[in-house]
Amino acid sequence: MKLWILYDTKFGNGKTLAELLKKEFSEKWEIKLGDVKEISPSTVASDAPDVLILGGAIRMFMGAPASKKWLKQLNKELDNVNKEIQYGTLFLTHALSTSKVQGYYKRFLKKLKKSNRIVKTYPQMLTARVQDVEGPIIESELEKARKFIQEFNKWIES
Ligand SMILES: Cc1cc2nc3c(=O)[nH]c(=O)nc-3n(C[C@H](O)[C@H](O)[C@H](O)COP(=O)(O)O)c2cc1C
C-alpha cells in the first residue's frame, strides 16, 4: 500500500501529528509525508497512492483553507491523469476547545466527500488540540490520534 500524509504547519504541530500517524502503519507500507505548501497536488496525483491523509489547521476562524484548496487541485490533477485514491481521511489541528471546532470539522469532511476521485471517505476525522497557539499538542490528543488511526487502519483492511 502506498500512503501520502499531507499537513499545513506553521509551528510544526501538524508535522508532529503526521509523523505519529505514520508510525501506526505497517512498515511494509510506502509512506510519504509533506507540507501542502511544498508538495504539489500533481506530485501526489502522479504518484497514485492508495491512501491519502490530509491535515489542516484552523487559523483566524478559517478551517484549513490551504488544505481545502490543495484538495480541490488534487482532484483536478487526478482527473488529468485518470487515477483514483481508494481511501481518504483528514485531521485538523486547533487551539479552541474541541466542542467549538465541530463546524470546521464537518465542512472539511464535506470537501473530502465531494472529491469524486477519492473513492472511500472515512466517515470520521481527527481533531487535535494544541495547548497554546504554537503548541505542543495536548498529550491526551496524541493518544486519541493513535486510536483514531488504528481504527482507520482496520476500516481499510475490512
Ligand atoms: C494567526 C493564527 C490564528 C489562529 N486562529 C485560530 C482559530 O481561529 N481557532 C483555533 O482553534 N485556533 C487558531 N489558531 C491556532 C492554530 O490552530 C494552531 O497554531 C495550529 O493548529 C498549530 O499547528 P501548526 O503548528 O501545525 O501550525 C491560530 C493560530 C494562528 C497562528
List pLDDT tens digits, range 45-60. Answer: 999 999 999 999 999 9
The protein residue whose alpha carbon is closest to atom 29 in ligand 1 is 59
Q: Ligand 1 within 6 A of 9 CB?
A: yes
Say whether domain 2-157 belongs to CATH 1.10.760.10: no
Select from 91, 87, 18 the least CA-distant residue to 55. 91
- The predicted pLDDT at position 49 comes to 98
| Average pLDDT over every residue of 136-156 | 97
Q: How many residues does the chain have?
A: 158
Tell which one of 58, 96, 101, 107 to mutate to probe ligand 1, the residue whose CB is within 8 A of the most ligand atoms: 58
List pLDDT tens digits, range 99-119. Answer: 999 999 999 999 999 999 999
- The predicted pLDDT at position 21 comes to 98
